[in-house]
Amino acid sequence: MIKNERLRERLVVTLIYTILIVTSIFVLYPIVWIIIGSLNPGDTLFSTKFIPDNLSLTHYKHMLTETDYTKWYLNTLKIATANMILSTFLVVTAAYAFSRFRFPGRRQGLMAMLVLQMFPGFMGMIAIYILLLQMGLLDNHWGLILVYAGGSIPFGAWLVKGYFDGLPRSLEEAAKIDGATHTQIFFKVMMPLSFPILTFIALTNFIGPWMDFIFARLVLRSNENKTLAIGLYEMVTGRGNTEFTNFAAGAVLVAIPITLLFLFLQKYLIEGVTAGANKG
């Protein structure tokens, strides 16, 4: 019996490691392939060898010096950073209000945010486009930022509200006894205790605009306002565009900031997700 149990445990462990290895190969192979393609001196991503004999940084130099890639990068960084700041503030303040205050319409507001998460963003694109047109915010970065920030509130507020619900109210009561106002409690008590979930919300709200293509394509028209997703897409579309290796180099450069943020903030991201799952 003991031998059978040990054999069964070994088989289970072997199966788990096999699944993990196969999954890792499927995940990592496209990443390695695009990196190798960006170093291929030709115009094609395909090569007779997995690692070509001659690797070159020519495409990276071309992207940074001979195209508008730097302008696209700065535009995207501006939109993502502004959205991160604005949306995080809106999400956290809304979550704090729903978690700590009781007011008419509170339950209905929570249910409305929950229902809004069930509908895809595509459903409201025409209405948003007309609204931005009437407000004069088409082909304007602030039009994108406001829509991104507003769209992040339902999911983010529910997540952060769950985190706030798990924090003891005794901390706020002690601060009230010391004469602190609600604003002081929010900024001096709740915010420092909420760093993990704030990091998660801030990072997700930064990544969204950084990687978005569809809505940015709908709103932005002029070349000077293009984002990275639009600029890179136009490099490989149309009959005359065959800059696939330049596209690969641009894609690698796009991934660098996000990868570094994940590596440095991984601990807080895990804490934020697990703590935010508490809906008590």
**pLDDT tens per residue, range 100-155:** 888 888 888 888 888 877 777 777 788 888 989 898 888 899 999 999 998 888 88
Q: What is the pLDDT along the chain (280 residues), one digit of tens a residue?
A: 667 778 888 888 899 999 999 999 998 888 888 888 888 877 766 665 667 677 888 888 888 888 889 999 999 999 999 999 999 999 999 898 888 888 888 888 888 888 877 777 777 788 888 989 898 888 899 999 999 998 888 888 888 888 888 888 888 888 888 888 888 888 888 888 888 888 888 888 998 888 888 888 888 888 889 999 888 888 877 655 667 788 888 889 888 888 888 888 777 667 666 654 444 4
Instruction: Report the alpha-carbon angle 267-269-271, nearest 5.
Output: 70
3-state secondary structure of 196: helix
Structure tokens at 212: 């978005």
Residue matched to tokens 């600029």: 231
pLDDT recorded at residue 14: 92
pTM of the entire predicted model: 0.81
Contacts of 62 (CB under 8 A, 6+ apart): 246, 249
Distance CA 93, CA 86 (A): 11
Q: What are the structural domain ranges in the chain?
A: 2-56, 59-276
Statement: 59-276 belongs to CATH 1.10.1500.10? no
Is the distance from CB of 34 to CB of 220 less than 8 angstroms?
no
**Contacts (Cβ under 8 Å, ≥6 apart) of 207:** 80, 258
Q: Which two tokens stand for residue 124?
A: 């409201």
What pLDDT score does 45 carry?
65
Identify which of 252, 232, 202, 225 has the alpha carbon closest to the alpha carbon of residue 75. 225
Nearest residue to 237 via CA among 247, 249, 250, 227: 247
Structural tokens at position 270 = 């895990």
